Amino acid sequence: MSEFPKLVNLRKNSHLLMGLTFFICLMSLLAFAVVKLNAWLEDEQQAPVQDIVVSGELIFIDIKYIEMLIKRTQPGSFFELDVNQTHQTVEAMPWVYRASVRKRWPSGLEIFVVEQQPSAVWNGDMLLNQYGDAFDAQISSDELNSKITLPNLYGPGGSEQTVLQGYRNMQSLLETSNLYIVEMFLSERFAWNVELNNGIKLNLGRTEFIDRLQRFVDLLPLISQQDRQVDYVDLRYDTGLAVGWKTFVKAA
């Protein structure tokens, strides 16, 4: 009878040893699986970003350049790719006004881009978007002009929105006469000067420039009856205007 408890304890120890061995094996397998899974997730060849889809109404932005930029700045796997960092990278491009970025399982990236809408050339080397914000075009004037015709606006720093709104107000008034603003200058003293597509230069002064421009439009038919070519029109008067005529030197 004394050997029976020993046999029971032996069996209990045997079961405990088997359970412990099984637990150790299970934990080892889990650890191995975690290591392998982590290595697989980090391996660009196992889970690369294969499809980058860029959408939006794009005229000046090169989709291929966006794809190259993302692959260069985010070289890791699909799982490692930082969406927030990619979003910042895309929105930092000068022609991107807004962008949204999201992953698409299992290996895709979707990017929607709202492109800057250029409204004018600003001070000869920048562009103004539709909201009057200046940005660097980073393209040649020839490439820009091949895709869109823009007025040239000039003004002091910080006056971008004022000048753009002034341009829009004046242009809407001039369109009834089939005239278009080619260049507009706002001086440091906030005096307005305009050059039209027919070569006429307008000096509108600092105040009541819309009323003065309307006076020019009303008197333009009368001015056009003259057998001379207009050089400039000075409208800085309470009533009336002064006309400067172009002079031509006859060839000898």
pLDDT for the residue numbered 28: 83
Which alpha helices (DSSP H) does the chain contain, by range? Answer: 3-42, 63-73, 83-91, 141-145, 160-174, 209-224
The distance of Cα 168 from the centroid of its chain, to the nearest Å, equals: 21
Band the pLDDT of 251: cuts 50, 70, 90.
low
More confident residue, 75 or 208: 208
Instruction: Tell me yes or no: is domain 51-115 CATH 3.60.60.10.
Output: no
Q: Is the pLDDT of residue 239 over 60?
A: yes
Calculate ∠ Cα 144-150-155, nearest 5°: 115
How many other CB atoms are there within 10 angstroms of residue 243's CB atom? 15
Question: Is 120-245 the same fold as 51-115?
Answer: no
Domain residue limits, the chain? 1-42, 51-115, 120-245
pLDDT for the residue numbered 71: 85
More confident residue, 21 or 152: 152
Q: How far apart are CA 134 and CA 123, in angstroms?
A: 10
User: Which range has the worst mean pLDDT, 6-15, 19-28, 94-103?
Assistant: 6-15
Q: Is the pLDDT of residue 7 over 70?
A: no
User: Mind listing the pLDDT tens digit for each residue in 44-59?
Assistant: 455 677 788 999 999 9
Q: How far apart are CA 218 and CA 216, in angstroms?
A: 5
User: Mind listing the pLDDT tens digit for each residue in 107-149?
Assistant: 889 999 999 999 999 999 999 999 999 999 888 888 888 889 9
Cβ proximity of 194 and 205 under 8 Å: no
Strand partners, 100: 112
Report the chain's mean pLDDT, rounded to a whole number.
87
pLDDT for the residue numbered 48: 73
pLDDT for the residue numbered 40: 59
User: Mind listing the pLDDT tens digit for each residue in 12-47?
Assistant: 666 677 777 777 888 888 888 777 767 655 554 556
For 120-245, CATH number out of 3.20.20.70, 3.40.50.11690, 3.40.50.720, 3.30.1300.10 equals 3.40.50.11690
Cβ proximity of 101 and 127 under 8 Å: no
